[in-house]
Structure formats: structure tokens, C-alpha cells
Chain A
Amino acid sequence: MKTFAELGFPGRLIAVEGLDGSGKSTQIYLLKRWLEQQQLKVYFSEWNSSEIVKAATSKGKKRELLTPTTFSLIHATDFADRYERHLVPLLRAGYLVLCDRYIFTAFARDVVRGCPPEWVRGIYNFAAHPDLTFFFKADLEVSLQRILDGRPQLKYFEAGMDLRLSTDPYESFRIFQGRMLEQYLAMSTEFNFIVLDANQLIEAQQATVRELVSQRVDLGRFRQADRPAPKALRKPAKKVRELEKEIVE
């Protein structure tokens, strides 16, 4: 499959991938803020966030109804909904689309769960590849620590408990994340991942991300046209003007 640029889309898609706790969400958030502050057309989409599908997924997870096959298919449904209704139209309209996780998450996760790799890849073959994919590579222990320090209550599927790797959720999570990392690393070259050292400080990583994005993407093309700001943004501006008036008076 080709990238959106290769397919002639005016928009560009940037994805971040990595283990839970690798800091990828923080990095893409900071990238988004930076792009927005330059008045660029930006859209952000998160894995497993389709309004239509999410209810079913959370029910399946809560009641532990999911098997490797249905886990895979329901996430693919979620992705398809976001892809067809949001990502593609926005990319056609020349947006910079930022994705917290993309199809590679499924390639890694579903295969660790025991689904055949060709089957999973076949399902997602309707999706074009990102123009840039950042892979945040942290030491396994570092990402484990970040998650385990923050919220010690691990969820069933998050910990990979369905794989019966261990009866201890923490041990299960460790083994599961270790296998995910192996899958990611094995894909890295094939899908042109830009591998970043996620053990570095947040600022150092963000500097590299911004540097690479401005090198590889002609950001000037993504400026928003000069048009009145949405109402929500106009109001405070009015207040400022009133204040200025008061000061002058």
C-alpha cells in the first residue's frame, strides 16, 4: 500500500506508535499544539474512538466477551469508521491528520493475540500508509514503570490477561508488552518507522519530532485560509477590545 502523498492526497497523515507508556501520546499532543499555533489545518484522531463502535468495544471489554478474532474485528470496525468518515475526507481537504496509533497497532497486537498476520494485514489493506510514522522506542522496563507507577489497576485486555500468560496481571502485562515490542521492532524497517529514543527527556524528543516534521512536510501548504474565527474564539477577542477601550477611556 502507498502513502497518502504517493496516492496524490493533498493532506498528510502523521502517526505515532509505541508501547503503552512510551510517551507517544504526550509527543503527538505537543506536535498538535505546535502545528495549531502556526494556524495550520490539523485534525487529531485516536485509536478506538469511533462514536459508533466504541460502546460495543467497551461492553465487550468490560464483560470479557472478546476473543482474539472479535477483538481484532471490532477494532478494525472502529478504524474503518474513522478512516472513511473522518481521515479520508479531511486528507482530501488538505488537512494534517495526526493519529495516536494506526494500523501497526493492530498488526502487533492481534498477532500477539494469535491471529494470523496475513489475515490481519488483509483486513486493513484498504488503508493507505502514513506519510510519517514515529515509533517511540523505550526500554521495556521504562514503559512498564510509567504505566505501573501511574495507575496500578490494570484492565483485563490491556494486561493481555485473555492470553493466559500469567494469573498475575502485572506479570501478564510485562510478557504481553514484551511481545508487542518484538512485533513492532520486526515491522520497523518494512514500514519505514522513524525510530525515536523514548528514554530521552520530553523536550529533546519533541525537538526531534518538530525538526523531522518540518523537514519532511511542506508546512506552508497547510495554512488555514483567512476567515473569521469560530464564534467561540471571537468572544474573548471582543472582551479584549472592550478592555482596551476602557483603558483608553
Chain B
Amino acid sequence: MKRVSKNQILVPLRSKRRFYGHGIPRVDLEQLAGKLIVVEGADGSGRSTQIAMLVEWLEAGGHATVQVGLKRSTLVSEELDRAQEGNILSRTTLSLFYATDFADQLENIILPALKAGFIVLADRYIYTLMARDMVRGMDEAWLKNVYGIALEPDAVFYLNVPPEELVQRNFAKNMTLDYWESGMDIGLSRDMFDSFMQYQRAVEKTFRHLQTTYGFTILDGMRSPDAIHMELRKKASAVLAGK
């Protein structure tokens, strides 16, 4: 870590980069000077709050940030939304639709921002997409091939909150449970509450399985936002220092 100015702005050090698989054709990894930090977790786990707090802190420290998230691509986000409303997508289609959305943001936002030296904060990444699909019975090896296009982030933080608490937080916020976040398409239970609990448990289990491959940091999401933020700061500082 190098302190360059009187107001103590840290200039991030480079870290070694790689794609998980074949990656994106014709990308020079050496040129990606920025950092990619991913926050994962279910709806209601506090992801957005934590990302907002990280942005505040990073910008105060002189770092430029860019945020990405699922279903935010110019290419397919509207179409994906419309298709999901009708609930007519079968699982491979849904999976590839999300992969297209991810690839579009990777190539048009994430990679260019990293090249320009930005800190990219991703509100979920390929792990959520993989976990959702695996719970729906899709083949892990197939998913790993598809997402071989993804860049390995500098850090991945998973906010772990048990389903019992997620339910409470979702009701406190929206008074309703989301159809897809409850896994209603799988038919686990006709009771939405039951379905939500079963689905979230299955997703959590899959995350723990994926953790063994991708080695992300699991954080206890039951603590106060400030307590979680302080831990994230410490970890993000290490990332900036190229560790």
C-alpha cells in the first residue's frame, strides 16, 4: 500500500488476474488495473445496504466506483423481466438468459471499468446464478463451462442470513415474498411461505458447496449493518493493498 498525498489516498496495488475458464476472447488481463468486489446473499441479507456503505467509504478515500447487478444489462434486462412475468421460461432458457445478461455487463461495464481503474462493486455475481440453477437441477459442470467467461473477483463476500430472518426482513420491507426468490416455479410447496423456507435453505446449502470451489468469504449477516461494514472495510482495504 502506497500513500501518495497529504490526504492519504491509497493507490491500489495490482493483483494477479484470471478468468475462471476460457474467459472473453481478446481481453488483456494485464490491463485491468481496477478491483472487482462482489457481495452475495439472498434478498433481505443486507447486500444493498452494505454496497451503499462501501461506496461512501471508497469515494471518501478517492476511489471511483461502478456498480453492477443481475438483470441490469441493456441487452436483455427488459426482455428477461417480461418473460419472467409470464412465467413461461423453462430452466435452461432462464439460465442462458441470465448468462447473456451477465456477459453483456461483464463486457460492456465490468471489464472497461476495471481497465479504467475503477473499483467495481457487484451486487451478486455468477454464484447466485449458479446456485439458483443448481437448485433447479441443472448440471454443475455445464454451469461451470458457461460461466468460464467470468473474471475471478478480487474478493467475494457472502452475507449469510438464515431463512427465518430473511422472511421477517422481506415482510418488513415489502409485505410480500417474491415469486422467484420463493422458488415457486419449482413446485416445492403450494404454500408460498413453506416454499420460500425450503428454497432459501436449498440455495444456502448450494452456496456452501460452491464455497469449497470458489472460496468466498462467508460473513455473519445477523449483526448490525455497522458491524458488518467495519469488517468489510478491513477486508476491502486488504484487497486494495493487492492482497
Contacts and interface: CB of A to CB of B under 8 A. Distances in A.
Interface of A: 50, 52-53, 55-56, 59-60, 65-70, 73-74, 76-77, 80-81, 83-85, 114-116, 118-119, 122-123, 125-126
B22 interface: yes
Contacts of A65: 74-75, 104, 108
Contacts of B104: 65, 70
B148 interface: yes
17 contacts: A52-B79, A52-B82, A52-B93, A60-B75, A60-B76, A65-B75, A67-B24, A69-B24, A69-B25, A70-B100, A73-B99, A77-B100, A80-B93, A81-B89, A85-B88, A114-B26, A119-B22
A19 B108 CA distance: 30
A118 B90 CA distance: 24
Given A70-B107, A123-B96, A125-B142, A81 B75 contact: no
B96 to A, nearest CB: 4
Label chain B's interface by main secondary structure: helix
A123 B89 CA distance: 17
B149 interface: yes
Contacts of A70: 75, 100, 103-104, 107
Interface residues of B, number: 33
Interface in B62-100: 74-76, 78-80, 82-83, 88-93, 95-97, 99-100
Contacts of B149: 69, 119
B146 interface: yes
Given A52-B89, A60-B75, A80-B90, A74 B25 contact: no
Nearest to B79: A56
B187 interface: no
A39 to B, nearest CB: 30
A38 B16 CA distance: 64
Nearest to A76: B96
Contacts of A56: 75-76, 78-80, 100
A12 B205 CA distance: 40
Interface of B: 21-22, 24-26, 74-76, 78-80, 82-83, 88-93, 95-97, 99-100, 103-104, 107-108, 142, 145-146, 148-149
Nearest to B102: A73
Contact of A73 (B91, B103, B145): B103
A91 to B, nearest CB: 15
Contacts of A125: 142
A73 B93 CA distance: 10
Contacts of A69: 24-25, 103, 107, 149
A67 B27 CA distance: 12
Contacts of B26: 114
A119 B21 contact: yes
A56 B97 CA distance: 10
Given A70-B107, A74-B100, A83 B25 contact: no
Contact of A116 (B22, B96, B108, B142): B22
A118 B75 contact: no
Contacts of A116: 22, 25
A73 B107 contact: no
Contact of B146 (A50, A81, A123): A123
Contacts of B95: 80
A100 B176 CA distance: 45
